Amino acid sequence: MRGSETVSWIRWFLVLCLVVQGGAAIGADESLSAMPASEMEALQGVYREYQQAIAGLFSSIERAAGANPDFGPGVTGLLRVIIMDAGTPPGRKEASRHRTEDPSDYSLMQEMCEFASVAQVTGRHLSDPNLARQFRAVLLLKYRMFHGWDREPREKFMDRLAEEGRAVFDPNDSDDERLWLNIRHYELQAAQKAVETRRQLNEIRGVPVWMMEYVGYNGFTYWMHTPFEYWLGMEMSDEVLEAAKRLDRACDKLSDTHRSWRRVEHLLDGRIDPEQQEVIDAAARQVDAIAASIHRMFPTARGYFDTPAGKDFDPRKAGYAARELTSIILAAGEIRPDRKFREQYRQKRFVTPDRRR
């Protein structure tokens, strides 16, 4: 009897939690709808300021892209990483269960398959010319910064290429196009090699496919964040940085006005200037297109931005993307004062003059 009584109490407890949770959500809606007209008008005014700041950020990015041909595709690549990071990776449920049941075995399998899994996801992106264009500028910076910043790591990288029987190239080559061709060739070779490595890990070492998909998806987004942050710090205009600061202030002001505004955002009347609304709608459509592309590449992944082809887009997605972009832009802004690094970046050189081909 005690067992059945315990189950009964658990059920009642869960029901109570659902009721309280639902009541909290309803209460938030009711508190907003029951607001005095003057307070509601003030909140709507602040919300319009927030939307104007979103439009301002995307407009500044568009103008920066007009002056810098690499900036637009690069921001699209960053949005792709943000949207992937916001979603549910393939294999997450299985990974969570295995990590709980046998954490040491989980860590061992993760370590074994990480390199090959990330290489395969990177290869999926670089094998598509349109997607590769989005990662070109940031990978140029990544190779120059991580492999070519000093003589010793540069030579170690080149020696490793020679030991593996690969074409040797200088990761600090000042010729963008030549370096990009070498990087892409190197990454696609690594992805091709990873196919056999993953097969062996699965058949011989017993690493499940879902683990490799999960690790590859997460590893790709994790390892791309830092290079994108540095790239933004070097490439973004002062206008983009100031637009991000305005949006950050608008978010703070909105939170101070109503702490639950994100939960009841659908109740706010955000009508703004048609041109600004057009910018927000265009950004939302871009987010939808990126999400659909991710879903095609990772059919079992799920995310905040998932939308089947042809479904109406939601402009609030532009707000989410803008807030995430803002946090990265502000972090990148902290890198900008490093004048020596920026000068090296402009010269496309991070090392001493002596180098080898």
Write down the pTM of the prediction.
Answer: 0.84
- The rounded distance, in Å, linking the Cα atoms of 33 and 142 is 50
56 part of a folded domain: yes
The packing angle between helices 37-67 and 238-257, to 10°, is 160
> Degrees (nearest 5) of the Cα angle 187, 193, 195?
110
pLDDT band for position 27 (cuts 50, 70, 90):
very low
6 belongs to a structural domain: no
Predicted confidence (pLDDT) at residue 38 exceeds the cutoff of 90: no
Three-class secondary structure of residue 65 per DSSP: helix
**Cα-based distances in Å from 323 to 72, 134, 188, 196:** 18, 20, 33, 40
Beta bridge mates, 302? 88
Give tens-digit pLDDT for 136-146: 999 999 998 88
Cα(34)–Cα(48) distance, integer angstroms: 20
| DSSP state letters, 184-209 | HHHHHHHHHHHHHHHHHHHHTS---H
Look at residue 345 in the predicted model and tell me its pLDDT. Answer: 73
236 domain residue, yes or no: yes
14 is a domain residue = no
A 10 A CB-CB count for 12 gives: 10
Identify whether 87 is part of a domain.
Answer: yes
pLDDT at 353 over 70: no
In a domain, residue 46? The reply is yes
d(CA 324, CA 307): 19
pLDDT at 2: 44
Return mean pLDDT, the chain: 84
> What is the tens place of the pLDDT at every residue in 174-233?
899 999 999 999 999 999 999 999 999 999 999 999 999 999 999 999 999 989 999 999
Question: For 95-122, what is the mean pLDDT?
Answer: 93
What local confidence, expressed as pLDDT, does residue 264 receive? Answer: 76
User: Between the ranges 2-11, 99-108, 336-345, where is the mean pLDDT highest?
Assistant: 99-108
Single out the residue of 78, 84, 53 nearest to residue 325, CA to CA. 78
Q: In the prediction, which pLDDT does 322 show?
A: 96
- Residue 239, in any domain of the structure: yes
* DSSP class per residue in 317-347: HHHHHHHHHHHHHHHHHTTTT-HHHHHHHHH
Domain with 199, as residue range(s), is: 38-347
Q: Is the pLDDT of residue 28 over 50?
A: no
The answer to whether residue 84 scores a pLDDT higher than 80 is yes
How many Cα atoms are found within 13 Å in the side-chain-facing hemisphere of 176? 11
pLDDT for position 302: 77
In a domain, 74, yes or no: yes
How many domains is the chain partitioned into structurally? 1
Q: Is 176 helix (H, G, I), strand (E, B) or coil?
A: helix
Say yes or no to pLDDT of 89 above 80.
yes
